[in-house]
Amino acid sequence: MKSSLRKLRGFALQRHEQRVDRHRDHSTAAKAADELLAAAQDMADMRNCYDNLLAVAAAIANSSYEFSEALQEMGTCLLKRVTPTKDGINDKVLLLLGKSQFELRKLVDSYRVHVLTTITTPSQSLLNELQTVEVWCCLCASLYSTHALFFMVLELSRSSLAHKSQSLSVTNILL
């Protein structure tokens, strides 16, 4: 009888230790899940930031292109007004204004190219990298859920086996 009670006490102690270990595992799993959620939120925030940055860069590039075209039209118009035979002050002013329009156009075009090379290209590259990370994150989440399901099934099978062994232990004690 004493040996049966010792077995029962040892079994109860073992079950208690398993519960404590399971609680520790759940707390670390909860921390990992919280970190994963925080990382996912950070990725979403970063994606929104870069999407907004790309939208602004596209607006700047489009506006500077239109401004550049307007400068070219204005410069062409001013240079057409200059008459080669007259040597007046108006013609010199128109010539200077026309040339300055073309110089401004070159500066605006270089600004547009600079915006494209410094903002658009790196942002698109970072967004592509973020997309890769998101794919990996989804893969990890699916693996995590698969492992969680596996451990849940394992836990259920262990608990059903434990109930069978408990019933056998109780019958042994009664005999």
> Which is nearest to 105 in space by CA: 153, 72, 62?
72
Q: Domain total for the chain? A: 1
| Mean pLDDT of the region 67-93 | 83
- CA–CA distance, 101 with 76 (Å, rounded to integer): 9
pLDDT tens-digit profile of 17-42?
A: 655 555 555 567 678 778 877 888 88
Q: Tokens 């040597």, residue? A: 87
- CA–CA distance, 155 with 152 (Å, rounded to integer): 5
- CA–CA distance, 90 with 112 (Å, rounded to integer): 32
Give the confidence band of 158 by pLDDT, cuts at 50, 70, 90.
confident
pLDDT tens-digit profile of 108-128?
A: 999 999 988 888 888 888 888
Q: Can you give the residue range of the structural domain that contains 131?
A: 2-174
Spatial neighbors of 133 by CB under 8 A, at least 6 apart, are: 43
pTM of the entire structure?
0.58
- CA–CA distance, 75 with 86 (Å, rounded to integer): 19
Q: Which amino acid, one-letter code, is at 121? A: T
